[in-house]
Amino acid sequence: MRWSGVTTELNKLVPKKVNILSWRAELGKIPTRSVLRIKNINIGSLTCKLCDKAEETIDHLFTACQMSTYYLWSKIESWCKLPPLFAFSFRDLMVFHNSLVATKLRKELVLSVLQMTVWCIWKARNDAMFRQHRIIKEKMVDDVKMLS
């Protein structure tokens, strides 16, 4: 099932809030710092809360951020025994499972893990931004494993 032209699939294996986050992220409708700036909401620095290296966009947060790409996604690849995940955009993440030579069930499970990882990245970003929590990358991996 496709939602109004986006590639993110409705996934019955994850909570609705995770499906909604994935769908909204693919539409560019989650409030990253760059989106808030476009809406003329002054939030100070535009720098990503996870890496403090680049402007926080949807694609940066989920596919280019050092925290997500060099640590989290590589741990998920290893844990799920996946080939290297080369994603340059959020959409690339959401269609990665289709490129696998695997059963339909395995592809659905991989999509579930990808979506739960996105959820954990977003939650960690929000905790750092609004609750001043320190980012603990090992905890992010543990959260994905526990929730998936």
Domain ranges of the chain: 2-29+58-147
Coil, strand or helix at 105:
helix
d(CA 40, CA 107): 40
Tell me the per-residue pLDDT of 92-143, one tens digit each, with 9 for 90 and over.
Answer: 999 999 999 999 999 999 999 999 999 999 999 999 988 988 888 888 999 9
Is this prediction's pTM over 0.75? yes
Confidence of residue 8 (pLDDT cuts 50, 70, 90): low
Give the mean model confidence (pLDDT) for residues 26-47.
91
Residue 5 pLDDT > 70 = no
Using CA of residue 20, residue 26, residue 29, residue 30, what is the dihedral sign? Answer: positive
Give the mean model confidence (pLDDT) for residues 26-51.
91
Q: Which of 40, 39, 49, 36 is nearest to 122 (CA)?
A: 49
d(CA 145, CA 69): 17
Confidence of residue 73 (pLDDT cuts 50, 70, 90): very high
d(CA 82, CA 71): 15
